[in-house]
A and B are shown apart, each in its own frame.
Chain A
Amino acid sequence: MNSIRSPHVNESPKVPTGITGFDEITRGGLPRGRTTLLVGGPGSGKTLFALQFLMHGARDCKEPGIFVAFEENSRRIIANTNGFNWKLEELVQQKILYFMDAQPTPDLVQSGSFDLNGMLAALSAQAKSMKAQRIVFDALDIVLALLPDAASKRREVYRLHEWLLANELTGLITAKSGEAKDCVLEQQPFGFMQFMVDCSVKLNHRMSLGVSQRNLRVQKFRGSAFDENESPFIIGKDGFDVALARSMGRQDPKVSRERVSSGVSRLDTMLGGGYYRGASVLLTGLPGTAKTTLAGAFAEAACKRGERTMFVSFDSDGSEVMRNLDSVSIHLKQYAKSGLLRILSARTITGSAETLLVHIRTLSQAHKARCLVIDPVSTLSRAGNELTAHDVAERLIDWSKSNGITLLCTSQINELSDGPEGSRTPLQISTIADTWIHLNYLIQAGERNRGLSIVKSRGTEHSNQVRELILSNEGVTLTDIYTAGGEVLMGTLRWEKESAERVANEVAEIAGQLKRVTLDAEEAVLEVRVKSLQTELLAKQTEQSLLERVTESNRGELSRGHTRMRELRSGDAPRPVRKSGTKKKTS
C-alpha cells in the first residue's frame, strides 16, 4: 500500500489505487465509499485504470472487488491483461475479484422502459457474499444508451449512485468521451454525472506532431487537495504509470559524500575526487567532442567497481557503442556479457519524452542500476516533445536522485545556438545538474582540438583550468594546456611549444656541461702548474742544501790543507786538529 507522503489534515479517507503517481496526485487515491467518474476517449486506458484499481485492492489491500463489464466480455478483459503481471485469474479463483458480464446481448429485445434494479440487486448479494469494497462499472454509457430518454438515463444514474452510497462501496464508473460534440459525455446524463460524483478523472490520448501523448487530469475531488495539472502517463509493463512532478514537502533523499570515479583519473583530480554518488552530471558539447567516450569511461569505471550500470544510447546500437569505445581502450564487452552492464539502444524508440522516461525508469529498476548513462539526453526534446521534454528531464534527475542513482547525461549543443558557453543547454537542465562539464573544440592553427572544462560542480572543489582531452588507443587522458600570451595552446601548438621548451632545455644542459668541462680543464692546468712549481721548489731547496754542503766541505778541505802544509814544512810540532782552528785564528 502506498503511503501518503505529505501530511494533510482533515481529508476524507482514501482508497489507494496502486497506480504509480496517481495516489500522489490525489494525496492517497480515490475517495473511500464515494463514486469516481473516469472519462476518456477510445483507447485512453479507462478499463486498465479500473482493473488496476481493483487488482491492487484485492491483491494488496484485502479489499475484494467487483468488475461489471458492460462493453467487453470478462474473459477477453482478463486475457488482455496477460501482458501485465497481475494474475487476475488467480484473484478470481480466490474469490476476491468477481467479474460480472453485463453486456447487452445482441438478440436483446427491448420494449419500453427498464431499470438497473436487477443488476443492483444481484450485485448487492454478490458484494455481501464476498465482502467487496470496490466496484467498477466499466463503460456505463453502453447500458445508458439503451434507455429511451434523458429522464430515465438520469434516473438510472441516480439509482446507481444511491446504491453505491448505500452499500458503502468505493465506486469507479468509466464512460467514453470523445473530441466530437455528440459524444456521450456532453449529453445530459453524463454532464450532470460530473456534478454528482465526488471525484472525476479525465484521461486523454492525443497526438502531438505524430507523437502519442497520454495525459491524466483530476477534474474534481471533493474534500481533498489534488494536483490540478495534466500529468502525462504511460501504460507500461506493470500497468499505469503516471508521471508526477515532485510534490512539495516530500522528504529529501539521503545525500552521499561518497565519490565515484569519472573513469578518467585526471578528471577525478580536477573534480577533487570524482563525482558525488547520486549526483547528476551533465556533459555538454558539440558533436564529436567525445561526450560518449567520457560517458563510456564513466560506465567502465562503474563496472570495474562492480556496480550495476545501464547505458542508454539514443545514437547508436549497443554493439556499435562497445566497438567505438574499444578503440579508445574502454572495454565494455566483458561487462555487457556478464550482465553487469546493460546497454539499451533506444535509437528507434519513438514516443513521447514521457514514454522514454518511463521506459528508462522501468528498465533501470529492473536492472537495479546504480549508475545510469543517458547519451544524449537532448533526444528527449525531439520533435513533438519540446513542451514536455524539460519536465521530463527534470523528473529524470529527480527520480535518479531520490533513488541514489548516479546519473550521467550527455547533451548536444547546437553549433548554431547562442554559443557553446552560453547558459542555454537544450533542455535547460544545466541549472539542476550538479556537475556540468563542457567539452569544446578549439580551432587553432588549422586544427581542432578538444578542450574540457568544468563549468560547475556543486559541493566539490574543482579546477578552473581548461584541459586538453586526448583520445588515443591507450585511453582517455587529459593534458595540461599551455597558455602563452593569454592564448590557450593545444594540439600541435602545444606540442611545438613543448618541444621548443625541450630543445631549449637540452641546449642549456649542454652549455652547462661544456662549461663544466672547461672549468675542469682549467683546474687541471692549474693543478699541473702547482705540481711543477712544487717540484721546482724542491729542486731549488735541494740545490741550496747541496750548495751549503759543498761550501762546508770546501772550508774543511781548506783548513785540512793548511795543517797538512804545516806538517809538511815540519816547522812546528804536530798539534791536535781541534786546536788548529784556534791557532789559525790567532795566527
Chain B
Amino acid sequence: MSRLTKYKFRLYIAGHAPNSAQAQANLTALCEIYLQGRHEIEIVDVFKTPMLALQNNILLTPTLLKLSPPPVCRIVGTLSQRQTVLESLGL
C-alpha cells in the first residue's frame, strides 16, 4: 500500500451505546497509529438516520465501512481485536 493512499471510513454507531463508543475510540486510536493524516472518518448515527442505515444494509452496530481504497470492506464490532481489523483493512 502506498504511503500516499488516503483511507475513507464510515462508522455506523447507535447513539451512546457502549460498544459504539468503544468502536469509535478504537478506530481513532488505530488511525492515529497507522494512518497518520491519511484518513477520513464519517460517523453515522443509525438512530438519527435510520433509513440510510437500512439502505446500506447496516443491521448490526457498530459497523465500520472502509469506502476507499477498494475493495469496500465491512467490519462489525468494537474493533477491539486489532490484528483482525488490520488484516481486514489491508494494513
A residues contacting B by CB (< 8 A) are: 100-102, 105, 107-119, 121-122, 124-126, 143, 146
CA distance A126 to B59 in the complex (A): 13
Q: Is the interface of B mostly helix, strand, loop or mixed?
A: mixed
Q: Which residues of B approach A to under 8 Å, CB–CB?
A: 12, 14-15, 17, 19-20, 22-23, 26, 46-47, 50-51, 53-54, 57-63, 73-81, 84-85, 88
Top 4 closest pairs, chain A to chain B, by CB: A117-B14, A112-B78, A125-B50, A119-B59
Question: By the criterion CB–CB under 8 Å, are B23 and A112 in contact?
Answer: yes
What are 16 A-B contacts with C-beta separation under 8 Å? A102-B59, A108-B74, A108-B76, A109-B88, A112-B22, A112-B79, A113-B19, A113-B80, A114-B76, A114-B77, A117-B61, A119-B60, A121-B47, A122-B46, A126-B50, A143-B60
Q: Flag if B54 contacts A114 (CB, 8 Å).
A: no
Q: Knowing A112-B22, A117-B46, A119-B59, say if A125 contacts B75 (CB, 8 Å).
A: no
B60 contacts A118, C-beta separation under 8 Å = yes
B78 engages A122 (CB within 8 Å): no
A13 CA / B23 CA spacing, docked (Å): 42
Q: Which residues of B contact A118 (CB under 8 A)?
A: 12, 14, 46, 53, 58-61, 63
Name the distance in Å between A540's Cβ and chain B's nearest Cβ.
147
**Residues on the B chain within 8 Å of A117, using CB:** 14-15, 17, 20, 46-47, 61
Chain B, Cβ-Cβ closest to A118: B61
The interface residues of chain A, by DSSP majority, are classed as mixed
Assembly CA distance A100 to B75 (angstroms): 20
- Closest Cβ of chain B: how far from A143's Cβ, in Å? 8
Residue in contact with B76 in the complex, picked from A100, A102, A110, CB distance below 8 Å: A110
> How distant is the Cα of A424 from the Cα of B51 in the complex, in angstroms?
67
- Whether A107 pairs with B73 at a CB distance below 8 angstroms is yes
Given contacts A111-B77, A111-B79, A111-B85, contact A116 B60 (CB under 8 A): yes
User: CB-nearest residue of chain B relative to A68?
Assistant: B59
Q: In this complex, what residue of B is CB-closest to A102? A: B59
Nearest Cβ on chain A to B26's Cβ, whole angstroms = 8
Chain B residue at smallest Cβ distance from A117: B14
Q: How far is the CB of B6 from chain A (nearest CB, A)?
A: 21
- A105 CA to B76 CA in the complex, in Å? 11
* Residues of chain B lying within 8 A (CB to CB) of residue A119: 58-60
Q: Say whether, besides A115-B14, A115-B19, A122-B53, A109 and B73 are in contact (CB < 8 Å).
A: yes
Partner of A111, one of B47, B51, B84: B84
Q: Hey, which chain A residues are within 8 Å of B61, CB to CB?
A: 114-118
**Nearest A residue (CB) for B72:** A107
- Give the residues in chain B near A121, CB-CB below 8 Å: 14, 46-47, 50, 53
CA distance A65 to B26 in the complex (A): 38
